[in-house]
Each structure stands twice: as structure tokens, then as C-alpha cells.
């Protein structure tokens, strides 16, 4: 059965020629400058996924779903879906697992500070990664008048 073997949060993610390129990957805290009384700015991020497909599951489509949701439940902030089909390359050793990489990028507005998670699902396999969003006041707002 296919599985997401790696799910990484990054500032930027790209996939080319079977390779995953991540910049600023592996974070678990987002710091956003938010002006009181105004909505938070959009946050740009990337996701890097590595999908491992067993030999007997190659040359078939597998549906993958990725959601960004509040850690304590509630409506997802983002839903992404894709189909992955991994073939058997010429000369592959019989029985060898095959790997496919995916890079996703987007912008999201976090409605509040707190915990969030990205959850990937492929077949019966689920993988998730959690992170926290912190709201910071802009530097000019931090100083109190004398």
C-alpha cells in the first residue's frame, strides 16, 4: 500500500525530475506581524511530500489528499487533492519500492494564532505535521508612549 514517507513544511518547495527542492524546510513555528484590528496577512508556504509506492502498487493511480486544519478541529483552511501514478523504470530490480515526490505551494490566512496541522492521506495511510502560529505586533506598535 502506498504511503507518504515524508511530509515537510517549508518556505518554498519545488519538484523537478524526481527530486524535491526545499528552501527553509522543517519549521514548526510561524511568526506573523499583525496590526491589531486588522486581518492577518497571507502566509506563503510550501509542502514537500515523498510518496513510497510498493512494487505491486506501481502503474496504478493512487489518490492523495492534503488538508491544512486547526489542530483542535474545525473547518480546513486548505484542501489539496492529486492522483499519483508511479511506473516501473527500465532496469528496476523486481520487488523494489518506487518513490514519487510532490511539491505544493500556496498562501493561507490563519484566522487566529494557535496550533495547526497539515494532514496527508493516501489509501489507509495518514501522516501529519503540526505547527504553531504566533501573532506579533509590528515593531512600531511595541513601544508604549511615555
Q: How far is CA 145 from CA 34, 58, 74, 140, 142, in A?
A: 20, 65, 39, 11, 10
pTM of the model: 0.86
d(C-alpha 6, C-alpha 131), whole Å: 16
Dihedral sign computed on CA atoms, order 27, 29, 32, 37: positive
pLDDT digits (tens, 9 = 90+) for 60-110: 999 999 999 999 988 999 999 999 999 998 999 999 999 999 999 989 999
36 confidence band (pLDDT: 50, 70, 90): confident
Ramachandran assignment for 124, one of left (phi > 0), alpha (psi -120 to 50 degrees), beta (any other): alpha
d(C-alpha 116, C-alpha 110), whole Å: 9
Pick the CATH number of 3-142 from 2.60.40.2550, 3.40.1260.10, 3.30.70.20, 3.40.50.300: 2.60.40.2550
d(C-alpha 52, C-alpha 13), whole Å: 18
131 within 8 A of 28, measured Cβ to Cβ: yes
143 confidence band (pLDDT: 50, 70, 90): low
Give the pairing type, strands 114-122 and 98-108.
Answer: unpaired
Amino acid at each position: 500500500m502506498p504511503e507518504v514517507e515524508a511530509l515537510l513544511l517549508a518556505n518554498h518547495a519545488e519538484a523537478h525530475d524526481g527530486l524535491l527542492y526545499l528552501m527553509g524546510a522543517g519549521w514548526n513555528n510561524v511568526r506573523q506581524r499583525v496590526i491589531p484590528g486588522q486581518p492577518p496577512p497571507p502566509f506563503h508556504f510550501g509542502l514537500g511530500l515523498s510518496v513510497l509506492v510498493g512494487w505491486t502498487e506501481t502503474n496504478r493511480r493512487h489518490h492523495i489528499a492534503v488538508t491544512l486544519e486547526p489542530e483542535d478541529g474545525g473547518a480546513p483552511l486548505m484542501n489539496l487533492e492529486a492522483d499519483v501514478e508511479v511506473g516501473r523504470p527500465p532496469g528496476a530490480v523486481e520487488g523494489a519500492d518506487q518513490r514519487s515526490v510532490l511539491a505544493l505551494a500556496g498562501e493561507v490566512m490563519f484566522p487566529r494564532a494557535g496550533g495547526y496541522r497539515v494532514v496527508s492521506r493516501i489509501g489507509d495511510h495518514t501522516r501529519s505535521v503540526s505547527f504553531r502560529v504566533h501573532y506579533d505586533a509590528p515593531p512600531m506598535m511595541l513601544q508604549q508612549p511615555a
